[in-house]
């Protein structure tokens, strides 16, 4: 009788432990897409850069400025000029490469940008390098180089 009770207790506990392990593993898996742990930084670098440039392309310069680390006024005024068509806006961008070292608070991106030319007859495609700096939990654009 005691053996039967002990077997049932072991089965019950082993199921509970297995379920607890699955729950913890699930939190760890989903946590990697919520918190930047260093190992998954490229995901967050790409996500924050895409957010910034989507705001720039759509003309939301206030939201775009939140992703800028240095010279916020310069970047915001460039965004405003593109929005008001004083300069040719960026129509398309594509991240070519991300360079990041584990544990670093800096990242470098190679990005292909596409703008209309001044006459508006064709597109001009060029590459630019961006340096991003991690500030708190957000990767912000620090510098741009052509």
List, run by run, the mean pLDDT of 10-residue segments along the chain (146 residues). Answer: 71 74 80 70 93 93 94 92 85 93 92 80 88 93 86
What is residue 124's predicted lDDT score, i.e. its pLDDT? 87
What is residue 5's predicted lDDT score, i.e. its pLDDT? 72
**Rounded to whole angstroms, how far apart are CA atoms 42 and 49?**
10
What is residue 79's predicted lDDT score, i.e. its pLDDT? 92
User: Ramachandran region of residue 109, left (φ > 0), alpha (ψ -120 to 50) or beta?
Assistant: beta
What is residue 55's predicted lDDT score, i.e. its pLDDT? 94
**Rounded to whole angstroms, how far apart are CA atoms 99 and 112?**
15
Q: Which two tokens stand for residue 57?
A: 């392309």
**Rounded to whole angstroms, how far apart are CA atoms 63 and 102?**
28
Q: What angle do CA 110, 55, 30 make, to 5 degrees?
A: 75
How distant, in Å, are the alpha carbons of 5, 53, 71, 107, 108 from that of 40? 47, 21, 28, 13, 15
What is residue 108's predicted lDDT score, i.e. its pLDDT? 96
Give the number of residues written for the chain: 146
What is residue 138's predicted lDDT score, i.e. its pLDDT? 92
What is residue 13's predicted lDDT score, i.e. its pLDDT? 65
DSSP state, residue 60: -
Cβ atoms 67, 48 nearer than 8 A:
yes
């Amino acid at each position: 009788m005691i053996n039967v009770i002990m077997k049932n207790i072991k089965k019950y506990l082993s199921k509970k432990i297995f379920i607890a392990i699955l729950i913890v593993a699930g939190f760890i898996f989903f946590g990697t897409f919520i918190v930047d742990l260093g190992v998954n930084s490229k995901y967050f670098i790409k996500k924050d850069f895409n957010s910034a440039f989507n705001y720039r392309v759509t003309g939301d310069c206030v939201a775009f400025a939140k992703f800028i680390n240095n010279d916020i006024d310069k970047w915001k005024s460039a965004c405003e000029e593109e929005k008001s068509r004083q300069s040719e806006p960026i129509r398309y961008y594509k991240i070519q490469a991300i360079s990041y070292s584990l544990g670093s608070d800096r990242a470098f991106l190679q990005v292909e940008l596409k703008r209309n030319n001044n006459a508006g007859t064709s597109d001009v495609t060029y590459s630019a390098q961006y340096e991003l700096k991690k500030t708190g939990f957000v990767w912000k654009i620090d510098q741009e180089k052509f």
